């Protein structure tokens, strides 16, 4: 099964329970519909497609979504052609199974958060890490949101986000070395200054990008730095685990940064 494209469209969201109508942008990704406000800042409103049905009327630019928790929601597009594209994509994303998207899954780690598997993405053949959270998806929204929004070569950015009523699934690049703490333990005599500088430079680059977005990580430690080895032996370091990250105002960010 090949990956669906990420669809972007200006839509009108009308939520019957709230009786409001606002212009927002919607992005479709595996298992969830991410809606962001017109000013570009995403809100906490992942729609779980696994608990949804979608209906369309012939030659109509409007789709009706029926969701188990949110009730009914209408998506109105610029024309019926665009609505038809969204209908096909949304319909294919409902009732999904993890095996529809990923294969060759092997368990590699467990923790209080849940389990991590290595896997192969169908369609692309890319090797990825699949993190399956134990708790209710709503409790993991912060990590999912920042993994999705933050895009930098030295951050662990989400490849996919899949949501269901029981749990959330975060898919990210597979880092073949593991976390930095493991790398340190595997080198009891230390590493060269050049390699250490390269690791620190990458960590600082990722953190600087977060700070440019006024986001504080708040839990930097070796266990949250993931590493991979290139074919030439150089090490790639990426900052991960955004479960305690927070968006701060200019005043609060300055005071937090000085601590």
pLDDT digits (tens, 9 = 90+) for 171-199: 999 999 999 999 999 999 999 999 999 99
pLDDT at 222 over 70: yes
* Single residue among 126, 151, 173 that ends a domain in this structure: 173
User: CA 75 to CA 53: how far, in whole Å?
Assistant: 13
Q: What burial class does residue 34 get, using C-beta atoms within 10 Å of its C-beta: 0-12 exposed, 13-18 middle, 19+ buried?
A: buried
Q: For residue 104, what are the domain limits?
A: 99-173
How confident is the model over 30-82, as pLDDT tens digits?
A: 566 666 554 444 444 556 666 678 888 888 888 887 776 667 777 777 788 87
CATH of the domain at 197: 1.10.510.10
pLDDT tier for residue 259 given thresholds of 50, 70 and 90: low
pLDDT at 12 over 70: no
**Could you tell me if 113 and 131 are in contact, meaning their C-beta atoms sit under 8 angstroms apart?**
yes
Is residue 2 in a domain? Answer: no
Tell me: do 191 and 156 sit in the same domain.
Answer: no
Residue with tokens 């962001």: 36
> Average pLDDT in the 13-34 region?
49
Tell me: do 115 and 166 sit in the same domain.
Answer: yes
* Single residue among 29, 61, 95 that ends a domain in this structure: 95
Those residues whose C-beta lies under 8 Å from the C-beta of residue 76, and which sit 6 or more positions away, are 11, 12, 14, 61, 62
**Hey, which residues are catalytic here?**
219
How confident is the model over 129-157, as pLDDT tens digits?
A: 999 998 776 778 888 889 988 999 999 99
What pTM was computed for the model?
0.70
Residue 31 confidence (pLDDT): 60
Tell me: do 13 and 82 sit in the same domain.
Answer: yes
User: CA 19 to CA 153: how far, in whole Å?
Assistant: 41
Tell me: do 167 and 182 sit in the same domain.
Answer: no
Is residue 132 in a domain? Answer: yes
Residue 88 confidence (pLDDT): 79
Residue 2 confidence (pLDDT): 35
Tell me: do 11 and 82 sit in the same domain.
Answer: yes
Tell me: do 30 and 72 sit in the same domain.
Answer: yes
User: CA 23 to CA 9: how far, in whole Å?
Assistant: 11
H or E segment to which residue 110 belongs: strand 102-111
* Single residue among 72, 95, 118 that ends a domain in this structure: 95
Is residue 1 in a domain? Answer: no
**Could you tell me if 171 and 159 are in contact, meaning their C-beta atoms sit under 8 angstroms apart?**
yes
How confident is the model over 227-256, as pLDDT tens digits?
A: 999 988 899 999 999 999 998 876 665 655
Residue 28 confidence (pLDDT): 66
Those residues whose C-beta lies under 8 Å from the C-beta of residue 125, and which sit 6 or more positions away, are none
- Count of the separate structural domains present in the chain: 3
Those residues whose C-beta lies under 8 Å from the C-beta of residue 73, and which sit 6 or more positions away, are 13, 14, 15, 16, 47, 64, 65, 67
């Amino acid at each position: 099964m090949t990956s669906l494209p990420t669809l972007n469209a200006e839509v009108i969201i009308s939520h019957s329970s709230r009786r409001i109508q606002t212009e927002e942008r919607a992005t479709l990704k595996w298992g969830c519909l991410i809606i962001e406000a017109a000013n570009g800042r995403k809100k906490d409103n992942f729609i779980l497609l696994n608990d949804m049905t979608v209906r369309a009327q012939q030659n109509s630019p409007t789709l009706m979504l029926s969701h188990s928790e949110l009730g009914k929601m209408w998506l109105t597009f610029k024309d019926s052609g665009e609505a038809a594209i969204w209908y096909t994509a949304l319909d294919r994303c409902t009732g999904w199974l993890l095996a529809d998207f990923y294969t060759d899954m092997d368990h590699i780690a467990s923790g209080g958060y849940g389990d991590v598997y290595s896997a192969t993405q169908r369609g692309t053949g890319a090797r990825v890490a699949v993190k399956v959270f134990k708790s209710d998806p709503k409790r993991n929204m912060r990590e999912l949101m920042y993994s999705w929004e933050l895009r930098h070569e030295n951050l662990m950015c989400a490849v996919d986000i899949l949501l269901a009523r029981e749990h959330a699934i975060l898919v990210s690049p597979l880092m073949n070395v593991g976390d930095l703490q493991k790398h340190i333990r595997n080198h009891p005599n230390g590493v060269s200054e050049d390699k250490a500088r390269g690791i620190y430079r990458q960590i600082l680059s990722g953190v600087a990008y977060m700070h440019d977005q006024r986001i504080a990580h708040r839990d930097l430690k070796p266990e949250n730095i993931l590493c991979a080895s290139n074919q030439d032996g150089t090490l790639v370091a990426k900052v991960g685990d955004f479960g305690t990250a927070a968006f701060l105002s200019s005043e609060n960010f300055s005071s937090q940064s000085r601590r």
